[in-house]
Amino acid sequence: EAQVTQNPRYLITVTGKKLTVTCSQNMNHEYMSWYRQDPGLGLRQIYYSMNVEVTDKGDVPEGYKVSRKEKRNFPLILESPSPNQTSLYFCASSLFGRGLTYSNQPQHFGDGTRLSIL
């Protein structure tokens, strides 16, 4: 089954304790992205990757790191989590589209990770 898998689904942790949220897709998609969802703010893009070893900042990258060592995996790293990073996080992936752009391909989302940082 084609899917984007995030782990963990839920995590409660404390300020300053490094954590990693994993994301894996089995669709051979080039493009992967992380979003956070906060009440009243909508989905906001944190980081994205257009292919292996190619990553770039989205709208809200502060406090996050990513890596893309393999095509299928795109982990989100919080080196020193803070309470303002408490949120619902989604990973998504898509194909490289027609006209050499990623923009015209739909995003496939994972089930989400709810992080609470105390």
Partner 1 sequence: ILNVEQSPQSLHVQEGDSTNFTCSFPSSNFYALHWYRWETAKSPEALFVMTLNGDEKKKGRISATLNTKEGYSYLYIKGSQPEDSATYLCAFSGYSTLTFGKGTMLLVSP
**Where does this chain bind partner 1 (CB under 8 A)?**
31, 33, 35, 40-45, 48, 50, 56, 58-59, 90, 101-112
Nearer to partner 1, 15 or 104 (CB): 104
Residue 101 Cβ, how far from partner 1 at the closest point, in Å? 6
What CA–CA distances, in Å, run from 5 to 24, 51, 60, 65, 80?
5, 18, 22, 19, 24
Nearer to partner 1, 53 or 56 (CB): 56
Residue 108 Cβ, how far from partner 1 at the closest point, in Å? 8
Nearer to partner 1, 53 or 79 (CB): 53
Amino acid at 22: T
37: CB partners within 8 A, 6+ apart: 43, 44, 87, 88, 89, 90, 112
